[in-house]
Amino acid sequence: MSKYYNPRRTRNLFDPNATEPFRLSRSKIDLFIQCPRCFYLDVRLGVGRPASFPLTLNNAVDTLLKKEFDIHRAEKTVHPLMKSYGIDAVPLQDSRMEEWRDALRRGISFHDKENNLIIRGGVDDVWVSPQEELIIVDYKATSKDEEITLDDEWKIQYKRQMEIYQWLFKQNKFKVSDTGYFVYVNGKTDKKALDGKLEFDVTIIPYKGNTDWIPKTISKMKTCLMDGRIPKAGEECDYCGYVESLGDVMRGNAIDNNEKGKNRNLKSETKGESTKETLFG
Ligand code: SF4
């Protein structure tokens, strides 16, 4: 097992008896929407998904974009890209920018007192309009030949991410524009050779967010966490079936095929009944 992955975390787990507010990063909202079981296993039982490898090229693009917009932030000027897209705004100057951008430790947060959860997330950038409305900005990097749009089904995650940031700023009493922007950087592959540098096209895509779904979802997350039962698996993920079958096979040497079949049926009938249930039955 890789030294970077701890399959059974014991810290930062939700405790239904605790009175302290529990901190949840915005990515856990997405995890809950994708699969309440995976969310529960991670946040309540400490079994998180293995982390993916760091996207170092994407991170480099993020850092350079931040530096570029920071030049205009310091000078309170409009970035030429914003000008070419007719966006009437400048990068926001605020002493809390670094804090809001710190996705790992700080970010922007809000304490939902009703559910006693602190939701937090780190933004890429914030612009401000002449009407003092904040505009949430997210940087994305890709490399594809087709035109960049937000139409791919999986990009719903990007849209939710933008909406959560808009909501977090609204909860912090800021006036926030419903329209946010994705600054999309697309690595060009139509060059004859790399020639020591990768060139990019930059596109700005507006997105009108709707934050109405967020409070209801946070309440459902809280209900899920308070429950003593492991929720059902998401319908579109095959891994739980894989893990169950793996468990069957790993223990199956001592069981004949008929018995294994009976055991599997028994397990699926009791699925989601109790935290005593494990993925291996
Ligand atoms: S169904 Fe997939 S996403 Fe859900 S708990 Fe199982 S592995 Fe995780």
Task: Kindly report, residue by residue over 19-62, the tens digit of the pLDDT.
Answer: 999 999 999 999 999 899 999 999 999 998 887 766 788 888 88
For 109-164, the pLDDT digits (tens) are 999 999 999 999 999 999 999 999 999 999 998 888 888 889 888 899 999 999 99
User: Is there an atom of ligand 1 within 6 Å of 38 CB?
Assistant: yes
Q: Is the pLDDT of residue 255 over 70?
A: no
Q: What is the pTM of this model?
A: 0.84
Q: In the CATH scheme, what architecture does the domain 1-237 have?
A: Alpha-Beta Complex (3.90)
The predicted pLDDT at position 238 comes to 76
**Average pLDDT score over residue span 2-14:** 79
Ligand 1 centroid–CA 278 distance in Å is 13
User: Is there an atom of ligand 1 within 6 Å of 35 CB?
Assistant: yes
Q: Atom 1, ligand 1: which residue's CA is nearest?
A: 233
Q: Strand order in 90-91's β-sheet? A: 90-91, 125-128, 134-142, 179-187, 200-208
User: Is there an atom of ligand 1 within 6 Å of 48 CB?
Assistant: no
User: Is there an atom of ligand 1 within 6 Å of 26 CB?
Assistant: no
Q: Which residue ranges make up each domain of the chain? A: 1-237, 239-281
Q: Atom 6, ligand 1: which residue's CA is nearest?
A: 240
Task: Return d(Cα 108, Cα 121) in angstroms, integer.
Answer: 6
Q: Is the pLDDT of residue 280 over 50?
A: no
Kindly report the average pLDDT of the chain as a whole number.
85
Q: Is the pLDDT of residue 69 over 50?
A: yes
> What pLDDT band is residue 275 in, cutting at 50, 70 and 90?
very low
Q: Per-residue b/e over 198-221, b at no fewer than 16 CB within 10 Å?
A: eebebbbbebebebeebeeebeeb
Q: Atom 5, ligand 1: which residue's CA is nearest?
A: 38
User: Is there an atom of ligand 1 within 6 Å of 141 CB?
Assistant: no
User: Is there an atom of ligand 1 within 6 Å of 110 CB?
Assistant: no
Task: Return d(Cα 103, Cα 120) in angstroms, integer.
Answer: 8
Question: Which ligand 1 atom sits nearest the alpha carbon of residue 35?
Answer: 4
Q: Atom 8, ligand 1: which residue's CA is nearest?
A: 38
The predicted pLDDT at position 52 comes to 73
